[in-house]
Structures are given as structure tokens and as C-alpha cells.
């Protein structure tokens, strides 16, 4: 579970409001993935303010975001070819957790990646967690449960608490090694980039795959090079779990 700093300790949630606007209508119409954490329906009754409720809310938003990023990742150009991620659908819920984004091992068949400096990373953060409710949500964001839960939360918060919440979210966001390379109107893009700033994996000349932003400061601290994560197979994972269970008995 994401570890939230003690600045949010003991803070209750304010009286809830309900999401509004055409982006929420779009989400309700088209749906989105759900990690089965309470990010939409955990509104307390009026006056029922539990200590640490705000901290728990932020934790659930982060958990849902980790899932939503992978859930919204693009398919290949021909839909019958399947998704760009090499994580089997049956394993995505258990794999799409914080740890997936903490290493430069990218769970895709191919990617285009760019190293993002601190300022560029901040731009991405503000797209994932805008400082105020936007007039519309970009492509993919409008279908993410975490995004609507976050917008619902910031509608309720006084300014000083909003600053605390965004500071904690930024701290967690800055610990991630990779994210989708967001654009002004979308979370994910697969448009081919020909600039020499971009690196392509695998290095086979195809120059294809989803665009990934790598956290430059974090990567330097890790002293690692981005690579493609080997594909997981359901049967392989089951064998590993069985071996682990056998070893612990």
C-alpha cells in the first residue's frame, strides 16, 4: 500500500460533494477499470468525520491510479493484435500496483521513451492531479476512477488542505520511475516520435509502441537503464506461487 506522510495524520474528510460535469457523465457512460478500493462510494454521512479519513482517501486514490494507468494503456494499431502491455489480462489487477512503476523495467512489447527532467515531470504531475477542477478531462483521464475521485476530493477541500494533499501526491509521484508520456489532451499516445531525444525498445528499427516518460532524477539515483520487462505467463506465475507456498510450509 502507498505510504502517505504524517502531514495528513488525523485529518478528517470534509462533508462530501458529488462529481459534476460532462466528464463525469462520460465516465458513467463508458465506464472504467476499478481496483475494488473505495474511491467513488466512500462518502461518509454528513457529520461523520473519522480521523485519518483524508489520509485513507489519498491512499485509495493512489492505488486506483496505479491500476488505471495500466487499464487505459493502448492496444496495437490492429485491435486483433491485442494490447501493447505484455501483462496478461488475468494478471493485470495484481500486477498494476505501486511496485510496477518503481523500476525502469517497462511491461510492454515495445515502447518509445524519453527522459523527463524535473520541470517536465511536474507538467505530467499537474495533468494527473490538476490543481483545480478542469473544464474537461483529457483522453483516458475521463475514464479513470482515480481521476474523478481526486476531482471530487479537491472540490471539498479548503485551500490549505488541498496544498497538503497535493504535496503528498507529488512526493509519491516523484518516487515513480515511469509513467505514460502525457500530452495536453491525453494520458497515452502511440504516435511515432522521430526526435533524437527518444529511445526505442526493442532496438529493431520499428520505432513503435506507447510513449513513456522516464523520471530522470529518479533514474540517476537508481543507476539503471530502461529495459523491457519479460512477459509474465499465468502458468509461470502459478508455479512460482506454488513453489513459494511449498517453501513456506
- pTM of the predicted structure, to 2 decimals: 0.79
**Model confidence pLDDT, tens digit, residues 99-109:** 999 999 999 99
Sign for the pseudo-dihedral over CA of 167, 172, 174, 180:
negative
Return the pLDDT at 232. Answer: 79
Return the pLDDT at 242. Answer: 67
Return the pLDDT at 17. Answer: 46
Q: How confident is the model at residue 60 (pLDDT cuts 50, 70, 90)?
A: very high
Which position has the higher pLDDT, 80 or 99?
99
Return the pLDDT at 52. Answer: 82
Return the pLDDT at 233. Answer: 75
Summary mean pLDDT of the chain: 85
**Model confidence pLDDT, tens digit, residues 177-193:** 999 999 999 999 999 98
Which position has the higher pLDDT, 11 or 19?
11
Q: How confident is the model at residue 77 (pLDDT cuts 50, 70, 90)?
A: confident
Residue 31 has pLDDT above 90, yes or no: no
Amino acid at each position: 500500500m502507498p505510504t502517505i506522510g504524517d502531514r495528513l495524520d488525523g485529518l478528517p474528510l470534509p462533508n462530501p460533494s458529488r462529481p459534476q460535469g460532462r466528464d463525469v457523465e462520460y465516465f458513467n457512460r463508458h465506464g472504467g477499470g476499478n481496483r475494488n478500493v473505495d474511491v467513488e462510494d466512500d462518502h461518509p454521512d454528513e457529520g461523520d468525520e473519522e480521523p485519518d479519513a483524508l489520509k485513507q482517501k489519498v491512499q485509495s486514490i493512489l492505488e486506483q491510479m496505479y491500476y488505471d494507468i495500466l487499464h487505459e494503456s493502448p492496444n496495437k494499431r490492429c485491435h486483433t493484435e491485442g494490447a501493447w502491455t505484455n501483462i496478461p489480462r488475468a494478471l493485470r489487477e495484481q500486477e498494476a500496483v505501486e511496485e510496477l512503476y518503481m523500476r525502469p523495467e517497462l511491461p510492454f512489447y515495445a515502447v518509445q521513451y524519453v527522459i523527463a527532467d524535473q520541470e517536465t515531470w511536474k507538467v505530467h504531475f499537474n495533468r494527473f492531479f490538476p490543481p483545480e477542477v478542469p473544464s474537461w478531462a483529457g483522453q483516458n483521464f475521463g475514464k479513470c476512477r482515480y481521476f474523478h475521485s481526486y476531482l471530487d476530493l479537491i472540490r471539498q477541500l479548503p485551500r490549505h488542505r488541498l496544498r497538503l494533499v497535493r504535496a503528498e501526491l507529488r512526493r509519491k509521484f516523484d518516487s515513480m520511475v515511469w509513467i505514460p508520456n502525457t500530452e495536453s489532451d491525453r494520458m497515452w499516445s502511440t504516435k511515432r516520435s522521430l526526435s533524437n531525444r527518444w529511445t526505442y525498445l526493442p532496438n529493431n528499427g520499428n520505432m513503435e509502441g506507447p510513449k513513456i516518460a522516464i523520471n530522470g532524477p529518479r533514474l540517476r539515483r537508481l543507476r539503471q537503464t530502461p529495459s523491457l520487462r519479460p512477459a509474465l505467463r499465468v502458468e509461470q506465475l502459478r508455479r512460482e506461487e506454488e513453489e513459494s507456498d511449498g517453501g513456506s510450509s
